[in-house]
Amino acid sequence: MPDDQDDQDDQDSVTREIVIAAPIARVWELLTRPEHLKVWYAFDGAVLDLRPGGVLEHHWKEHGRYRGVLDEVSPPTLLSYRYASLPDADPEPGRQTRVVFRLEPTPTNGTRVQVTESGFAELTLSAEERRAHRDATIQGWSGGLAGLSAHAGDPVG
């Protein structure tokens, strides 16, 4: 189950962390391959060009397509990207956040996964819209990490 780590005083970022009972190489694969992203996060499709400058896209019928641009790719421990805050738009200043995944092996052959999304303070939204966007992000990553953990335990996934 994901740890609730967001600090209510830090309105600029959201951090979630979970330990998954799977080796780091398996978790990296689930995190970076579109066919797996579709199972645990972007249920209606994903695109991922796994290189700095590569394009990322998550699609949900009810939310639209959200695009990103990869900044850092360091298998199997680090993935970061700039992520559009609006559907069907490219990430750009005032309309993007930064997402960083950090993976670390545990002594029991599991993987600690930490995701931090930051940049909410720079979004060109009203305070109320910014708070709603951040709250949706908290729910999204909490559910997403739970889905990632469940998918990691799926022998056919």
In the structure, what pLDDT confidence band is assigned to residue 154 with cuts at 50, 70 and 90? Answer: low
DSSP 64-122: EEEEEEEEEEETTTEEEEEEESSTT----TTSEEEEEEEEEE-TTS-EEEEEEEE-GGG
Residue spans per domain, the chain: 3-152
CB 141 within 8 A of CB 133: no
Give this prediction's pTM: 0.90
Interval 16-41: pLDDT, tens: 999 999 999 999 999 999 999 999 99
> Domain 3-152: which topology?
Alpha-D-Glucose-1,6-Bisphosphate; Chain A, domain 4 (3.30.530)
Average pLDDT over residues 121-148: 93
For residue 90, CA distances in Å to 28, 70, 96, 100, 115 come to 25, 12, 8, 18, 21
pLDDT at 155 over 70: no
CB 118 within 8 A of CB 141: no
In the structure, what pLDDT confidence band is assigned to residue 61 with cuts at 50, 70 and 90? Answer: very high
